[in-house]
Amino acid sequence: MRVDLRAVLALVLTLGAPAISHANGTGLGAPVPLGQATLRFLGFEVYTATLHTEGADQFDWDRPLSLRLDYARGFSAEDLLQGTRKELQRIEGKRSDQPQMLKKLATCFRAVGDGDHYVAVSTTPDTVEMRLNGARTCRVSHPDLRKRFLGIWLSPNSRSARLSAQLRGE
């Protein structure tokens, strides 16, 4: 089985989410840090992810979340989008609304390099706002977007269950 290493890395980085307009950089009014984890691939650091939730010290899909990715490697916007597509299909199979959701998410991604950070903030189950280095790139609405998109990093079925558990504070 042939593995496209660049696509795997991109999917893992996909979320590289932005920091919303709140002064604390998380996009949440009362952020509580839950976990932090560094993704390494073949020994090289890819990114460090940090998860915050709104006012609670336990992970809960029903609470607002903020996921920050601090990149140590560069990826194109297309790499990030294709990584997102592949991970969504791997986690949830092909769903009829995936093309529509991916078209919306495509507006979010920009090329990233060493030192860049994305923050993805979801204050409702159906919305995600993303910021790259503090500048908003998008606000996307789609049914169950929080769980589906952020599940790439936070789901027990994510590519790295260990990293996901660390982020969720487990």
Q: Is residue 56 part of a domain?
A: yes
Give the pLDDT score at 43. Answer: 83
Higher-scoring residue by pLDDT: 19, 150: 150
User: pLDDT band at residue 29, thresholds of 50, 70 and 90?
Assistant: confident
Q: Which of 48, 44, 52, 84 is nearest to 69 (CA)?
A: 48
- 170, pLDDT greater than 60: yes
Q: CB within 8 A of 10, min separation 6: which ones? A: 75, 79, 80, 82, 83
Cα angle vertex 162, ends 122, 147, to 5°? Answer: 25
Residue 60, SS3? coil
User: pLDDT band at residue 10, thresholds of 50, 70 and 90?
Assistant: very low
Place of tokens 């006012």: 55
- Is this prediction's pTM over 0.85? no
* Residue-range definition of the domain harbouring residue 76: 5-158
Whether 26 contacts 66, CB under 8 Å: yes
Q: Is residue 59 part of a domain?
A: yes
Number of separate domains in the chain: 1
Q: Is residue 137 part of a domain?
A: yes
| Burial of residue 14 (number of CB atoms within 10 Å: 0-12, 13-18, 19+) | buried
For residue range 50-107, what is the model confidence (pLDDT) as tens digits? Answer: 999 998 888 999 999 999 999 999 999 999 999 999 999 999 999 999 999 999 999 9
Q: Is residue 62 part of a domain?
A: yes
User: pLDDT band at residue 41, thresholds of 50, 70 and 90?
Assistant: confident
* 55: CATH: 3.50.70.10
